Chains A and B, each alone.
Chain A
Amino acid sequence: MKYIQTILIIIISVILFSCQSGPKVIDDLSDTTFQLVNQDSVTVSFPDDYQGKYVVMGFIYTNCPDICPLITQNLIKIQRELGFPEDVQFLGITFDPERDTPSVLSDYKEVFKLNDNFDFLTGQPETVSAFMDSVRVRSQVSLTTITSDGKEIYFMNHSDKIMVLDKKSRVIIEYGGSMPQVPNLIIEDFQSLK
């Protein structure tokens, strides 16, 4: 009798395990809403406004000369390789909201010639700070200098991350954002999702 019971437990476990379809959920962002603003000064409720879409997002500051353009390039490559899908929203979210105003983000978007499905978000510093905490993105000013003609030069140390949210605003994919192999990894992950 005990033998049959053990077999039954194993069978039920196997069935339950095989029913867990879909990717592993790293984090659920659907519980909290952040009021952000895009490059056109349009208010965005994150993640509510993107429910029903996948979201691929990277974290940047526009004064970044090297790593953040790489993150942006990787986002661009993922969008292109996926064939510009309408159900996937691409986002670049700044962790430097005091300097990255909507108009600065608009210039940044224009420089990269991005389409409507690719937005950049900023917001009130305290809101952006809370948002970055929720996605475990850290940043700190590493150097500030004022030039002889009064211009401010500053650089930041920061996390390097690209995340993918599923249609229920759950984080399902997370990689280092600037790594050259990341676009292919995310594209492969997407192909296994669909």
Chain B
Amino acid sequence: MKRLLLFTFIGILMFGCNSNEKEIPSGKMELTDGWARHGKAGMMSAAYFNLTNNTKKADTLISISSDVTHITQIHKSYQTEDGLMGMQEQAFVALPIGKTTSFEQGGLHVMIIQPERDLSDGDSVTLTLSFSSMDSLVVKLPVKTLSN
């Protein structure tokens, strides 16, 4: 009995100290408050959302694709040194454990370039988010019309 307890104790210690093992995510990558802006085919649209890394591993968003266009890019709006507003394409977006990254107007955003169909109220846009570690996340975002 004493020997069994000793082996169990050593086993727990060995398992607990095995830090090189790849951690298995217990939570999910969660996308909330998502929407895409209305637009006409061939014009420009954008998508916004909050992305929370609820897994147990830091990850990186490396690309996004969409069902309405062949060209989807991640950009960030910023102010240039001479006071103009510009955008910079982001090759990746770091997603720390437990943190929410906001894709919002005037900041990080997903550009839906030259959509192949009109995007109106009641429509939706499907995005596929690809990460460096976890499996892709497929989400359907409602199209929002911003008008009077």
Q: Which residues of A contact B (CB under 8 A)?
A: 62-67, 69-70, 72-73, 76, 79-80, 84, 107-108, 110-115, 138-140, 142, 147, 149, 151, 153, 155, 157-160, 178
Contact = CB atoms under 8 A, between A and B. Distances in A.
A63 B105 contact: no
Interface in B43-99: 43-46, 70-71, 75, 77, 80, 83-87
B146 A112 contact: yes
B106 interface: yes
B84 A157 contact: yes
5 contacts: A62-B44, A65-B44, A66-B77, A111-B39, A153-B114
Given A67-B85, A67-B106, 6 more contacts: A65-B75, A65-B109, A69-B37, A110-B40, A111-B38, A159-B85
A105 B32 CA distance: 33
Nearest to B45: A65
B145 interface: yes
B36 to A, nearest CB: 11
Contacts of B37: 69
Which of B38, B39, B84, B106 gathers most chain A CB within 10 Å?
B84
Given A62-B43, A63-B44, A107-B43, A157 B86 contact: yes
Contacts of B29: none
Nearest to B145: A113
A84 B39 CA distance: 24
A153 B72 CA distance: 12
B87 A155 contact: yes
B77 A151 contact: no
A114 B85 contact: no
